[in-house]
Chains A and B, each alone.
Chain A
Amino acid sequence: GENVEQHPSTLSVQEGDSAVIKCTYSDSASNYFPWYKQELGKGPQLIIDIRSNVGEKKDQRIAVTLNKTAKHFSLHITETQPEDSAVYFCAASGSGGGADGLTFGKGTHLIIQP
């Protein structure tokens, strides 16, 4: 089955700086890669996703890049703000060809220092 590795486990950045979180996956058949933000006491919130036919996707301060050859994808947050502090999870799915369960990484605790 799929295995997703996520790094780093904790990331502390100064407000206004950029943050990058990286994930690798094992199943070359995976074709859908979402990112979730989870705040304390809440469920994971989908913030951006990318499919395997695209190399990069951007939504305001958030961008995701995908390298299918190397089987890794990354989340980039620019101009970080205090409200970006949360745990971020990457995930992968799609080897089943239709709706599929997600395999998640272990999460990155992002801390934005004022």
Chain B
Amino acid sequence: GAGVSQSPRYKVTKRGQDVALRCDPISGHVSLYWYRQALGQGPEFLTYFNYEAQQDKSGLPNDRFSAERPEGSISTLTIQRTEQRDSAMYRCASSFGPDEQYFGPGTRLTVT
């Protein structure tokens, strides 16, 4: 079946603009996770949802970052007033149960 999909795959934005990154999880997967991956590093946890409920947002760097999953399926990660340090690969993963997270291809965000 279809895996996790993310859009857009690439996003270039100017400093100060807001961006919205979308994740479409594997059908039927209860949990959805957002990570950020810098070049040459492992993914860094940002936040996750069980169904539509945001369970843990301890990894969000600051209050410019927010996420939602209003109907328990597609999720959006929003970054307000983007800064150059926000440039990274943003990855989404989903899982049916508490383990076995499957990752999407990511969105490469570049803030100029």
Residues of A bordering B, CB below 8 Å: 6, 32, 34, 36, 42-46, 49, 51, 89, 91, 93-94, 96, 98-107
Known: A45-B103, A105-B42. 5 other contacts (CB 8 A): A46-B101, A100-B48, A101-B33, A102-B33, A104-B43
Task: Assess the A49–B56 pair: CB atoms within 8 A.
Answer: no
Interface residues on B, range: 20 to 34
Chain B residue with the shortest CB-CB distance to A97 = B98
**Chain B residues numbered 37-62 whose CB sits less than 8 Å from any CB in chain A:** 40-48, 50, 55-56, 59
Mind listing 21 A-B residue pairs with CB under 8 Å? A32-B98, A32-B99, A34-B99, A34-B100, A45-B103, A46-B101, A49-B99, A49-B100, A94-B98, A99-B30, A99-B99, A101-B46, A101-B56, A101-B59, A102-B43, A103-B45, A104-B42, A104-B43, A105-B42, A106-B40, A107-B40
